[in-house]
Structure 1
Amino acid sequence: MSRRAFTLVELVLVIGIIAIAAAIAIPRYADALLRYRADAAARRISGDLALARSRANTTSTAHSVVFSVAANEYRIPEMADASTGAAYTVRLGDAPYRATLVSASFGGQSQVSFNGYGVPNCGGALLIRAGSVERTVVLDATSGRASVQ
């Protein structure tokens, strides 16, 4: 009765192939993760701009979104955070985004206000970066709609 087994050469060869495959896959995974983080942060900002616009329209009161590049966050003072009761604040440096707010410009200011009709006081753009990946959120001055580019 003969016993079948793998030789040391076969095991080393398989481990080498797995190591090569991992060396190829890991950088691609890291790039995909950075793209995900930049996209998620940009979509969150776009969604919150739409939320502030909608809340301003439905309540017929002005709502503003204030961006702080230095603190890497933005807030909507007229809305309360459900868990803390403080002003609604999103920190882009925290998980899951781990992104950086590079610039925020709305007519020379770092904030935008929506009037009671949901119309912004001006258009503008935001630049978000996660690693080497950048996304731009553009707010249209006429329609008040935000888009990710």
Structure 2
Amino acid sequence: MIIGRERLNQRINDMAPNVERYAAQAKMAAGTELAEAIRQLAPRGATLEYAESIDADLLASRPAQEQVGTSKTKDPSAVGIFAEFIWRFLEFGTAPHNTAKGGGTVAGKKQAAAGGGNMHPGTAAQPHVFTTYRAMKPRIKRKIMAAVSRGVREAMKK
């Protein structure tokens, strides 16, 4: 029999009431640890503004902020990593483009050839978000599973 997420969570909470609380704490701790690791590897400019903007928070706490790399979740304790919008330009790099309006388009390149705007050489990728996440993913999973096991063990002792 297939049951929905809400029903499954309800059944787990009925059997082991502390599982969700422990899992939420573990998710937040893992998210904070991941944000700190990403912050350490982030490219540093003159102001350190970008690196300092990297933070972990509940997805539910930031509904207006664009979520990249995730789909909508029904998990109220889901944690995400948030940073300034330039993270994707740093993570993946940029192609050469004209700085005039519409410079990344064919029309913009024609403008550049005609003498309008300046050509930006582009930037090399400086991966720091997804590489760090992939490296830490097994540890994050272990931490969350340990919290779930702790809640189940407590429920079994009662």
Q: TM-score, normalised by structure 1?
A: 0.28
Structure number with greater Rg is 1
Q: TM-score, normalised by structure 2?
A: 0.27
Structure number with the higher helix fraction is 2
Q: Which has the higher contact order (CA 8 A, sep 6+)?
A: 2
